[in-house]
């Protein structure tokens, strides 16, 4: 990325070019998977709403992961380090958050097993401090997109806000890093 800073492009133009190029490649892969989704639609059980919400959720997650990768690329001089940290971050938000949630949920359920106030199967019956890590989990975000439109709040909307906020935070940090590299 250092070579691009010597061009006449602004820092924002460099970021947008890299972001759009990476996102368009991933969107191409997503579009090529639409025939498989249409087969599920043709066989029944999945409606147009589920296809739309799953596609929108996937685009939001991919955009967020893309901004994480661009941030790592601006923070590290070597691409191997940026790639490794990007992968580690995605694994952390995918696997570690799920493990943390399930461990804390099992502790909570075992502590409240004898009470009449034991949690039910509803997501809202689980305390917020236990549910919190799942709002960072892309698999939970995708799963929550299959809820009916009237049930999208708070889980899907909260996940969307969290992933968009992470993406915006990464954009701000990336632009700051690029400006600092350009000044050096």
Give the pLDDT of the chain (184 residues) as one tens digit per residue.
556 666 777 878 888 888 999 899 988 988 898 888 778 778 877 778 888 888 899 999 999 999 999 999 999 989 899 999 999 999 999 999 999 999 999 999 898 876 655 455 577 788 889 999 999 999 999 998 887 777 777 889 999 999 999 999 999 999 898 888 766 5
Q: What is the pLDDT of residue 5?
A: 60
Q: How many domains, the chain?
A: 1
What is the C-alpha separation between 1 and 19, in angstroms, rounded? 13
* Residue 110 falls inside a structural domain: no
* Residue 125 falls inside a structural domain: no
- Name the nearest CA neighbour of 88 among 72, 64, 104: 72
* Residue 32 falls inside a structural domain: yes
* Residue 25 falls inside a structural domain: yes
* Residue 122 falls inside a structural domain: no
Domain that holds residue 79: 7-85+133-183
SS3 177: helix
Q: What is the pLDDT of residue 118?
A: 47
Helices 79-91 and 48-75, packing angle to 10 deg:
140
Whether the Cβ atoms of residue 119 and residue 108 lie closer than 8 Å to each other: yes
* Residue 161 falls inside a structural domain: yes
Digit-coded pLDDT (tens) for 84-122: 999 999 999 999 999 999 999 999 989 887 665 545 557
Whose tokens are 């954009």? That residue is 171
Whether the Cβ atoms of residue 143 and residue 135 lie closer than 8 Å to each other: no
* Residue 120 falls inside a structural domain: no
* Residue 150 falls inside a structural domain: yes
């Amino acid at each position: 990325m250092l070579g691009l800073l010597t061009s006449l492009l602004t820092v924002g133009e460099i970021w947008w070019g890299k972001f759009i190029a990476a996102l368009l490649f991933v969107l191409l892969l997503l579009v090529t998977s639409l025939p498989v989704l249409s087969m599920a639609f043709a066989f029944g059980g999945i409606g147009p709403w589920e296809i739309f919400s799953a596609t929108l959720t996937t685009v939001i997650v991919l955009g967020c992961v893309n901004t994480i990768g661009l941030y790592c690329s601006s923070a590290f001089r070597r691409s191997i380090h940026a790639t490794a940290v990007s992968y580690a971050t995605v694994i952390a938000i995918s696997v570690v958050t799920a493990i943390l949630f399930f461990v804390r949920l099992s502790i909570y359920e075992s502590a409240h097993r004898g009470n009449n106030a034991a949690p039910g199967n509803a997501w809202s019956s689980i305390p917020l401090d236990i549910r919190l890590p799942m709002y960072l989990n892309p698999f939970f975000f995708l799963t929550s997109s299959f809820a009916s439109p009237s049930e999208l709040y708070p889980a899907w909307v909260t996940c969307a806000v969290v992933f968009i906020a992470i993406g915006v935070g990464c954009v701000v940090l990336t632009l700051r890093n690029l400006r600092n590299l350009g000044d050096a």
